[in-house]
């Protein structure tokens, strides 16, 4: 028996229905889709579940075409048909509404098992190839848990490891804990005036566990109210308050529930005349900007100071919108500038304070805004704190700027009232845990005293599990209840802190009422988390551990898909300490090893942060060496039958005239190649909820790129630079042609994704060798390889490299210089002669106008609507392409198909030109122009289908001949 392993190519090495995956990812990120597993606990830059599910599936199923070793070779048409069947599974699999659709998931699992059996049949008797048991899955950088969760959903035993305790707990909550407590009835006390979860009687799956999280959460809320109610009083509307506020008259004598308190930070005025006055630092005085419901705050001068008054109605033209901008503030009394340098100095000296600006209360189906009063403000500011997290903030860290404003400890991020509330709730988690254990044993659940950290599944472990999810609720409360949360005037609610990967400074902030059922309130957050928990099916086995991806020896032969840290974009460890300080308070006795340190591990975290390592060079070297070791572990221990998929967030990119690149991207590719991987594919996976093309403006081509990696053969040699360039010239055109739709059964890559996807075949050549040697014998860098790869892409798409007509070559060059703007006739004449045409000829063809010594190309919407290519005596590809864009935009795909049917011989050239022009617009950041070309390619298959259904005289004659 031969020791050689026979491994069929996987689908992900060949093709993906990328547009369908990206559309599903974008949809999943949209607000309003309802509860989502990510709502269980916040983590930064999670991958969409749709992407994780699609990648793992395509990573495991065999591609029907090409290297089909388990049977006789099949035709391209049959392979295309079978590939389309797999595409259809992916299309259904990635839909948000199918996340827990048993029929869809079973179909996908069946396809995975079928491929696995085929692979095992090729490798009978060899270790690791048991057709009765799917290999297990491992994510060594598990983070927010999206990838391990989806592996488990696809029928795999899922293992998740991460260095960060918060990430470990998130993964435990999603893949490890739920399967332990499936199909149990809830045992907790029913909340007062509350019905059980959706009136459920059959407690299938983890519905019982979720219901108990809710019940014990309400028990905590009830107990906490005994302490916290006096700190969150209602506000009584008096006749005096309603005297000048007509909208308050219906509430006179009533006590209204407070939704939020709006505060303004203050510093002493730098003007000597007002240096005893605390001047407000306010970004916006607007409380509500809904039409007909406008509310705003006016600082009214009074006794050498001022007081805040809430005003109702449209703001006057003289309305003061705020006192702060990027450069600093302005004194409302003297109009003196308050530089940021002065504000920071005052804050660091402990003289920055905050003052109550407005109170938001619940009226009759609307928010009501009240002016503050001294008594309410004094009662809040006088609250005493007896217990607070005395943990230092990092002196400097990615995403942190608040230290320069006098905030040195985590407790400084909260008001005194918030500290008391969060501490009270945290302390009650342990009480709820003990009560759950007691209730469980009373209702007949066995208890062996083994906690969940030791693998227990009895009453003690069940109480531990309840405590885990309740601690998550408190973390969510902390996200909404701190002194850095804003107030949204558009939808009138508190905005949570982590809307991005940072803890930024906020001048005016909103303090939510944590004991009421409002945005930011404990019960609101509890109910939301329970709904999110129900999105986990609890099937399969899963385990989550705290491990360092560099040093830990993995169990061998696992399928690996992972989303590593992003170079220098996100400081996970420093940011997660915001949650760790509260979670540790609740869970340190349940998971003593995981929460043994006061803060999360920092020194070993794989991010290239200059603040931690001293210099950019040292930080980059640390990242490079660490990531190389981590990826080398993956290469050594991954299952030989499957490629490894690695996500990389392609952000902060630098688009230049010849390539798309970034330091992090190049460093990451270097690490993968250094780890003896060959990169066989790159797939841009998008998760923006906005239009795909808008990424050009922010220079973010894709939210992430998935790299498909296979172990490089030990016998690989080095090649010369010249040989590398030769292989690019030989192999890239075929690969690019397949990507833009020339290969049967392979869906076209949209122009917006082509630049990243096309790096795959180029890097496949580069990384398949031990090295590429320059003329001086030095190793070619990834940066230089990317330049050559990008050049081969540009050369392929450039009209000069094909059989394009002279008019099109002129238009392309002119467009690159002037876009749709005018240029001098003399320059146009020189260019036209060089391209083998004339300015008059180009104008006569209908694509440009010439006059007054100027020349300008026509935009697609200026082209004539009665154009017929069969009657036009001079039809450049440029004209045909832009006429196609005009008809698509004005009349739709069917009419565009009818137009293409009149000039089918120009189809491929039109498509290639559209790709080229998109790339050109992208690099020049011409977003609007690029959109038209991207949409043409996006609709191309539908247009071609429509053209084939269009009856033309030529087609009639052809049909007669065929008959």
Per-10-residue mean pLDDT of the chain, 963 residues long, equals 78 89 88 89 91 97 69 75 94 94 96 96 90 94 95 96 96 97 93 59 88 97 96 94 91 95 96 93 94 93 92 88 92 94 95 96 94 93 91 85 91 96 97 97 93 95 98 97 94 90 92 96 96 90 93 78 83 92 95 95 86 85 88 90 87 43 74 87 68 37 75 81 92 81 62 76 88 90 88 78 83 92 93 92 93 93 93 93 94 93 90 88 84 87 83 48 36
Number of other CB atoms surrounding residue 307 within 10 Å: 15
Residue 837: helix, strand or coil by DSSP?
A: coil
Nearest residue to 518 (alpha-carbon basis) of 659, 638, 359: 359
Q: What is the pLDDT of residue 178?
A: 96
Nearest residue to 904 (alpha-carbon basis) of 949, 864, 860, 934: 949
Residue 228: helix, strand or coil by DSSP?
A: helix
Q: d(Cα 520, Cα 496) in Å, to the nearest integer?
A: 8
Number of other CB atoms surrounding residue 299 within 10 Å: 20
Q: d(Cα 935, Cα 26) in Å, to the nearest integer?
A: 17
Q: d(Cα 928, Cα 921) in Å, to the nearest integer?
A: 9
The radius of gyration of the chain's CA atoms, rounded to the nearest angstrom, is 32
Residue 360: helix, strand or coil by DSSP?
A: strand
Contact present, 463 and 437 (Cβ < 8 Å):
yes
Summarize pLDDT for 58-82 with one digit per residue, the tens. 999 999 975 544 445 678 788 888 9
Q: d(Cα 507, Cα 837) in Å, to the nearest integer?
A: 63
Give the tokens for residue 167. Answer: 């990430």
Nearest residue to 358 (alpha-carbon basis) of 256, 302, 285, 279: 285
Nearest residue to 168 (alpha-carbon basis) of 542, 456, 608, 473: 542
Torsion of CA 344, 345, 346, 350, to 10 degrees: 90
Residue 166: helix, strand or coil by DSSP?
A: helix
Summarize pLDDT for 240-286 with one digit per residue, the tens. 999 889 899 999 999 999 999 999 999 999 999 999 999 999 999 99
Q: d(Cα 413, Cα 402) in Å, to the nearest integer?
A: 9
Number of other CB atoms surrounding residue 639 within 10 Å: 20
771 has which bridge partners? 718
Give residues with Cβ within 8 angstroms of 399, minimum separation 6: 501, 502, 503, 570, 571, 574, 575
Give the tokens for residue 387. Answer: 């217990």
Q: What is the 3-state secondary structure (H, E, C) of 302-331?
A: ECCEEEEEEEECCCCCCCCCCCEECCEEEC
What is the per-residue DSSP string for 22-84? HHHHHHHHSTTS---GGGGS--TTPPPHHHHHHHHHHHHSBPSSS--TTSS---HHHHHHHHH
Q: d(Cα 427, Cα 127) in Å, to the nearest integer?
A: 51
Number of other CB atoms surrounding residue 195 within 10 Å: 9
Cα distance from N-terminal residue to C-terminal residue, the chain? 55
Parallel, antiparallel, or unpaired: how do β-strands 255-256 and 235-236 relate?
A: antiparallel
Q: d(Cα 143, Cα 824) in Å, to the nearest integer?
A: 57
Q: What is the pLDDT of residue 19?
A: 83
Contact present, 679 and 708 (Cβ < 8 Å):
yes
Q: d(Cα 854, Cα 843) in Å, to the nearest integer?
A: 12
Number of other CB atoms surrounding residue 196 within 10 Å: 16
Nearest residue to 887 (alpha-carbon basis) of 905, 872, 901: 901
Q: What is the pLDDT of residue 960?
A: 40
User: % helix / strand / coil in the chain, to the nearest 5?
Assistant: 45, 15, 40
Number of other CB atoms surrounding residue 411 within 10 Å: 19
**Dihedral sign from CA coordinates of 527, 532, 536, 542:** negative
Q: What is the pLDDT of residue 689?
A: 46
822 has which bridge partners? 856
CA 103 to chain centre: 28
CA 239 to chain centre: 51
Dmax of the chain from CA atoms? Answer: 99
CA 510 to chain centre: 26
Contact present, 504 and 326 (Cβ < 8 Å):
no
Number of other CB atoms surrounding residue 214 within 10 Å: 27
Number of other CB atoms surrounding residue 922 within 10 Å: 25
Q: What is the pLDDT of residue 770?
A: 86
∠ Cα 400 402 405 (to 5°): 155
What is the per-residue DSSP string for 386-418? S-----BPPSS-TTB-GGGGT--BGGGGS-HHH
Give the tokens for residue 743. Answer: 């290969």
CA 492 to chain centre: 25
Give the tokens for residue 867. Answer: 């154009």
Contact present, 436 and 464 (Cβ < 8 Å):
no
Please provide the size of the chain in residues.
963
Contact present, 108 and 773 (Cβ < 8 Å):
no
307 has which bridge partners? 300
Q: What is the DSSP letter of 176?
A: I
Structural element, H or E, at residue 735:
helix 721-737
Number of other CB atoms surrounding residue 378 within 10 Å: 10
Contact present, 447 and 458 (Cβ < 8 Å):
yes
Q: What is the DSSP letter of 174?
A: I
Residue 493: helix, strand or coil by DSSP?
A: strand
Contact present, 53 and 154 (Cβ < 8 Å):
yes
**Dihedral sign from CA coordinates of 860, 862, 866, 869:** negative
Structural element, H or E, at residue 934:
helix 927-938
Contact present, 276 and 295 (Cβ < 8 Å):
no
Give residues with Cβ within 8 angstroms of 77, minimum separation 6: 744
């Amino acid at each position: 028996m031969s020791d050689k392993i026979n491994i069929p190519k996987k689908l992900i090495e060949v093709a993906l229905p990328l547009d369908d995956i990206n559309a599903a990812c974008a949809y999943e990120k949209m607000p309003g889709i309802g509860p989502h597993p990510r709502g269980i606990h916040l983590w930064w830059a999670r991958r969409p579940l749709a992407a994780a599910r699609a990648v793992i599936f395509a990573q495991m199923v065999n591609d029907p075409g090409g290297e089909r070793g388990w049977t006789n070779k099949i035709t391209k048409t049959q392979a295309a048909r079978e590939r389309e069947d797999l595409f259809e599974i992916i299309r259904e699999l990635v839909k948000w509404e199918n996340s827990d659709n048993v029929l869809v998931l079973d179909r996908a699992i069946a396809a995975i098992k079928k491929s696995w059996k085929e692979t095992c049949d090729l490798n009978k008797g060899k270790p690791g190839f048991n057709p009765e048991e799917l290999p297990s899955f491992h994510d060594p950088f598990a983070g927010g848990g999206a990838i391990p969760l989806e592996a488990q959903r696809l029928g795999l035993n899922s293992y998740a490891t991460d260095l960060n305790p918060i990430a470990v707990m998130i993964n435990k909550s999603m893949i490890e804990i739920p399967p332990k407590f499936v199909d149990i009835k809830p045992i907790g006390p029913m909340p007062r005036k509350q019905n059980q979860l959706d009136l459920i009687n059959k407690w299938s799956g983890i519905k019982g566990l979720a219901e108990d999280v809710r019940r014990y959460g309400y028990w905590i809320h009830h107990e906490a109210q005994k302490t916290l109610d006096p700190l969150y009083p209602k506000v009584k509307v008096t006749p005096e308050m309603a005297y000048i506020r007509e909208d308050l008259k219906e509430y006179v004598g009533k006590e209204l529930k407070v939704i939020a308190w709006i505060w303004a930070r203050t510093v002493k005025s730098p003007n000597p005349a007002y240096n005893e006055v605390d001047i407000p630092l306010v970004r916006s005085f607007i409380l509500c900007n809904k039409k007909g419901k406008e509310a705003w705050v006016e600082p009214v001068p009074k006794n050498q100071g001022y007081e805040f008054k809430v005003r109702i109605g449209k703001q006057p033209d003289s309305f003061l919108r705020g006192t702060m901008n990027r450069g600093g503030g302005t004194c409302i009394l003297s109009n003196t500038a308050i530089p940021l340098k002065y504000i920071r100095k005052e804050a660091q000296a402990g003289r920055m304070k905050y003052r109550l600006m407005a109170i938001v209360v619940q009226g009759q189906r609307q928010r009501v805004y009240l002016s503050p009063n001294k008594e309410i403000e004094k009662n809040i500011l006088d609250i005493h704190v007896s217990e607070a997290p005395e943990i230092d903030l990092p002196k400097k860290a990615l995403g942190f700027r608040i230290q320069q404003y006098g905030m040195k400890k985590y407790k400084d991020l909260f008001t005194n009232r918030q500290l008391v509330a969060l501490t009270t709730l945290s302390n009650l988690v342990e009480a709820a845990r003990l009560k759950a254990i007691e209730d469980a044993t009373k209702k007949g659940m066995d208890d062996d005293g083994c906690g969940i950290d030791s693998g227990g599944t009895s009453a003690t472990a069940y109480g531990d599990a309840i405590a885990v999810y309740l601690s998550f609720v408190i973390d969510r409360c902390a996200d909404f209840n701190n002194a850095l949360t804003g107030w949204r005037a558009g939808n009138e609610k508190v905005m949570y802190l982590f809307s991005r990967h940072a803890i930024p400074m906020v001048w005016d902030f909103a303090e939510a009422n944590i004991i009421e059922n409002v945005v930011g309130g404990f019960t609101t957050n509890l109910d939301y988390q329970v709904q999110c928990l129900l999105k986990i099916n609890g099937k399969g086995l899963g385990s989550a551990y705290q491990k360092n991806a560099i040093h830990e020896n993995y169990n061998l032969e696992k399928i690996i898909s992972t989303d590593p840290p992003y170079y220098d974009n996100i400081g996970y460890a420093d940011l997660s300490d915001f949650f760790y300080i509260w979670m540790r308070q609740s869970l340190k006795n349940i998971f003593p090893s995981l929460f043994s340190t006061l803060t999360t591990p920092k020194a070993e975290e794989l991010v290239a942060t200059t603040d931690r390592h001293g210099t950019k060079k040292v930080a980059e070297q640390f990242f490079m060496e660490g990531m190389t070791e981590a990826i080398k572990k993956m290469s050594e221990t991954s299952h030989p039958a499957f490629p490894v998929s690695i996500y990389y967030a392609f952000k902060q990119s630098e688009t230049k005239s010849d390539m798309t690149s970034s330091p992090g991207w190049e460093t990451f590719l270097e690490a993968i190649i250094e780890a003896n991987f060959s990169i066989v594919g790159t797939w841009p996976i998008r998760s923006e909820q906005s239009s795909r093309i808008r990424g050009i403006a922010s220079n973010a081509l894709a939210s992430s790129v998935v790299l498909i990696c296979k172990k490089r053969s030990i016998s690989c040699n080095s090649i010369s630079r010249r040989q590398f360039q030769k292989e690019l010239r030989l192999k890239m055109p075929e690969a690019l042609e397949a990507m833009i739709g020339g290969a049967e059964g392979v869906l076209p890559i949209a122009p917006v994704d082509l630049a990243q996807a096309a790096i795959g075949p180029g890097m496949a050549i580069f990384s398949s060798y031990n090295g590429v040697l320059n003329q001086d014998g030095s190793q070619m860098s990834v940066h230089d390889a990317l330049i050559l790869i990008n050049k081969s892409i540009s050369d392929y798409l450039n009209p000069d490299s094909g059989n394009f007509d002279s008019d099109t070559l002129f238009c392309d060059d002119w467009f690159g210089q002037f876009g749709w703007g005018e240029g001098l006739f003399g320059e146009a004449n020189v260019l036209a002669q060089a391209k083998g045409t004339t300015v008059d000829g180009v104008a006569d063809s209908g694509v440009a106008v010439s006059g007054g010594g100027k020349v300008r190309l026509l935009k697609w919407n200026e082209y004539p609507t009665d154009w017929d290519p069969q009657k036009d005596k001079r039809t450049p590809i440029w004209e045909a392409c832009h006429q196609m864009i005009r008809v698509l935009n004005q009349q739709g795909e069917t009419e565009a198909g009818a137009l293409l049917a009149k000039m089918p011989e120009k189809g491929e050239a039109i498509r290639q030109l559209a790709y080229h022009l998109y790339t050109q617009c992208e690099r020049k950041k011409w977003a609007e122009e690029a959109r038209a070309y991207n949409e043409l390619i996006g609709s191309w298959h539908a247009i071609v289908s429509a053209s084939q259904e269009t009856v033309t005289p030529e087609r009639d004659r052809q049909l007669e001949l065929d008959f």
